[in-house]
Amino acid sequence: MGAILIGVFDSGIGGLSVLKALRAEMPHAHFIYVADSGYAPYGERDEAHVLERSRAITRYLLSQNVPAMVIACNTATAAAIHLLRAEHPGLALIGVEPALKPAVALSQTGRIGVVATRSTLASAKFQALLASQAGGASFVAQACDGLADAIERSAETGDTAETIALCARYTQAMGIFGTENGQIDTLVLGCTHYPFASDHLRAMVGGGVQIIDNGEAVARQTRRLVPASVMPANAPPGQVSLFTTGQPQTLQAAARRWLGLPDPVKTLLI
């Protein structure tokens, strides 16, 4: 039996944080990763743009015969997953959303910070999620304009000064982090780019604060939904094909830096 091929996409390199977890969970599955860098960032654009791009990428991935697709982007999940599900009932679709429920279970102070794109926080999907968890904790939600873009640039240049400055500005705006009463003791990373800034965020919020993202949970859910992704232990390792709608250098550098993937990035005109 040949290994399964799973599609994964994001506005850029952020979804690599999810791809990393997917590869750890399903080492024999093959993946096609699409970074929509030519049309990014998604987080400061309107929903119609994100929906149109999500549809174009879905059509491309379906043309590659993927039976399953992971939307490795909180912003695109919020804007498009419900419509894509209705339009492609035969496709197994897995999305990512800020991990509010696990945060409520973990928090001791009952005060939780959420960092995400402006568009994710404004979406009806996030507002409904927030309302469903509001009884369990109080939330401080912070839109981080420019942070995903800064992380993209740092992946290529290695210069993290802009990322660090933005992390400092946004965490300071949220209030006091810590484990005392009234302090924010849990920080939810609601954008798949942000795990690549987690060391900087950690330095700012302190060691006692729990920083959580959804990558591993999404990988487990994908494995559950796509049983064919589980192969015998002696099956050959899965391959990753990397595509971008923008300049290949950024994805190339990020895939090498963060996932150790040397494979060449191809440009996609869609």
For the annotated catalytic residues, the residue numbers are 73, 191
- Given a contact cutoff of 8 angstroms between Cβ atoms, the answer to whether 33 and 241 are in contact is yes
Residue that is written with structure tokens 């290949």 in the block:
248
Q: Give me the least distance between CB of 96 and ligand DGL, in Å please.
A: 7
Closest CB to ligand DGL among 97 and 185?
A: 97
Strand 30-35 to 5-10 pairing: parallel
- My answer on whether omega of the bond before 41 falls inside 30° of 0, hence cis, is yes
Q: Give me the least distance between CB of 43 and ligand DGL, in Å please.
A: 3
Closest CB to ligand DGL among 3 and 93?
A: 93
Q: Give me the least distance between CB of 148 and ligand DGL, in Å please.
A: 4
Closest CB to ligand DGL among 76 and 184?
A: 76
Residues near ligand DGL (CB under 6 A)? 10-12, 14, 40-43, 73-75, 117, 120, 148, 191-193
Separation of alpha carbons 25 and 230, rounded Å: 9
Q: Give me the least distance between CB of 45 and ligand DGL, in Å please.
A: 8
- For 23-55, the DSSP string reads HHH-TT-EEEEEE-GGG---TTS-HHHHHHHHH
With CB atoms as reference, the residue minimizing the distance to ligand DGL is 43
Separation of alpha carbons 90 and 259, rounded Å: 31
Closest CB to ligand DGL among 3 and 139?
A: 139
